[in-house]
Structures are given as structure tokens and as C-alpha cells.
Amino acid sequence: MKVLRTVKEMVEFRKSLKSPIAKVGFVPTMGSLHNGHITLIDQARKNCNVIVTSIFVNKTQFGPNEDFNSYPRDLDGDVKKILNSNKYNDRVEVVFAPESEDVYPPSSKITRVNVEGMDDTYEGRARPGHFSGVATVLSKLFNIVQPDISYFGQKDAIQSILVKRLVKELNFPIDIVIVPTEREKDGLAMSSRNVYLTPEQRNAAPILYKALKECERVFNNSNGNISSEELFKLGKSIIEQETIVKIDYFSLVDMNGTETQYLERDGILSGVIKCGNTRLLDNMILKKK
């Protein structure tokens, strides 16, 4: 296992790899790894012989009142978790964990990447500048790591749509693989932010998954002929059963991320709740039969 702490080291390591012998799989993360991250790394291990996991809390995707400073950071624990989860002995495993100042040299002026239209999505409106921060850091990381395949979680469904558009529209020669959401036994989607939850909030948080599952059931029973308003109303009525949880929003988009009232093909129902100050998001793919 190599732990590379600078952009320069990562670039040099990448240059030392000979293609086509080396197939590089890349898993970008913000660290504080849980089993959801490990499923992405495991997928990379299946398809690639060099696996790079980046651990980088990216300041440009946080808003001024968000949790950038308090975001959980545990590089030693993350490295151990990756080591302990490795069942192969012929894969090269790399952790790339640069400092913020190395990725963003100190200047107020930085080049930003904007995937047009992402700020008009529900999540984009709720977090101004967030998606441009994500697109910017991913463009940088893709250029530094130069992976063959990069892995992302379905948990961040709108981000997955952004990544697919980013590589297509900026011609990054990278395949994107989306991995299903890993959940706790009670359905709560695994997230680094779950550590913020008090025991009471932790008990209430799976209501989001329950609401999404119920919406999926009703969607299937109606053969997909149900409006977004009706789905949101149903979802909200379920969330309201847990009084300590506040609903932020529900949204329904097609697989290209465009908001829609009725789905003509498959789509994504997303829900965001707040437990105290902690914002939790989850989603369900609705399949049109």
C-alpha cells in the first residue's frame, strides 16, 4: 500500500505505470471511510490491477455555512480500513491524500468547471456552487490520477449524472461505473455524516429510506402513472411520522437529471431530510415497466 501525500508524487507514480499492463481504477472520496466506500473500492479491485483511492475534503464544494471545518477526518483509520478490506495480494493499492493548498494553490482566483444546468437541479439550488466545486475537483483529480475507470456511488445520484456529463462533454477518456447504495441493516444509507447523529436521530433517520420504498411501491402499483406531486405528498406524510426529522425536499428527475412531473422512462426519486444540523440524502431508482 502506497500513501502519496502530494500531487507531484501522484503524477510521478502515474507516469511510472506502463499501459496496457496497468489498468487504473479510481475511487474519489472525502475520507472517513465506511463500507459504502469499500464496495466502490472492491468493484475497482475486480476490474483493475492498480487501485487509487483519493481522500480529500474538497473545500470548493462546501457552502459558507456548511460543515467543511467539522467534516470527519481520519487518514490513519482510512488507510487501515482499505488495508483490512483487501482480499487480493496482486493489486497495487494507492491512497492519494493531498493537502488542500497543494490542490488549490493559495489564490482567490481559481479556474472552475461548470457543468451547465446542474445548478438548476433541486440539489443545485439547495447548495449554490456545490456542483461546480465537485466538477472542478473531479477534473483536477482525473488529470492527476489519469484513471481508466472511475467509480461513484448511486447514493449521490445527481452527482453521478454530473460525472457522466463531465467526462463526456470534456472528453475525459475514462469509463464511469455507478455502484449501488450500501445500507445499514435498518435501511439507512451509509454516509460519513451519520457519525454526527445523536442516538435519537440515528433511530429516526431510516424513515427516509422507508418513505422512498413506499413511494417506489405505490409507483409500481400505479404502473408508473403517478405524478411527482403525489409521490412527494406521500413521502412527506411518512417522514412527518418522525417528529425530530425535518423534510428538506423530494425531487423526481429522469436519468439525465431533468425534473419531471410524470416519468416516461426510468427516473430517480431523491429525498433529503435534516436531523438537527445533519443533512441526509438518499434516492431510489424508479423503473418504468
Q: Rounded distance, CA 41 to CA 77, Å?
A: 16
The CA distance from 273 to 247, in Å, is 4
Site for ligand AMP in 161-180 (CB under 6 A): 179
> Is residue 34 flagged as an active site residue?
no
Q: Could you say which residues in the range 188-227 bind ligand AMP, by CB under 6 A?
A: 189-192
Q: Tell me the closest approach of the beta carbon of residue 281 to ligand AMP, in angstroms.
A: 10
Site for ligand AMP in 30-69 (CB under 6 A): 30, 36-37, 39-40
Which residues inside 90-119 make contact with ligand AMP, applying CB under 6 A? none
User: Which one of 37, 127, 130, 140 is the catalytic residue?
Assistant: 37
Stretch that binds ligand AMP, among 123-131, 166-174, 184-192, 231-239 (CB under 6 A): 184-192
The minimum distance between CB 83 and ligand AMP, in angstroms, equals 18
Please identify, using beta-carbon distances, which residue of 81 and 228 lies nearer to ligand AMP. Answer: 81
Smallest gap from Cβ 109 to ligand AMP, in A, equals: 25
| Using rule CB under 6 A, residue 182 touches ligand AMP | yes
With CB under 6 A as the contact rule, the residue among 133, 153, 206, 271 that binds ligand AMP is 153
Query: Which of these ranges, 116-124, 165-173, 183-191, 213-221, lies near ligand AMP under the rule CB under 6 A?
Result: 183-191
Residue choice 14, 127, 140, 155 for contact with ligand AMP (CB under 6 A)? 155
Q: Is the Cβ–Cβ distance between 17 and 50 less than 8 Å?
A: yes
Cell 473500492 -> residue: 41
Q: Which residues bind ligand AMP (CB under 6 A)?
A: 29-30, 36-37, 39-40, 152-153, 155-156, 179, 181-182, 189-192
Active site residues: 37
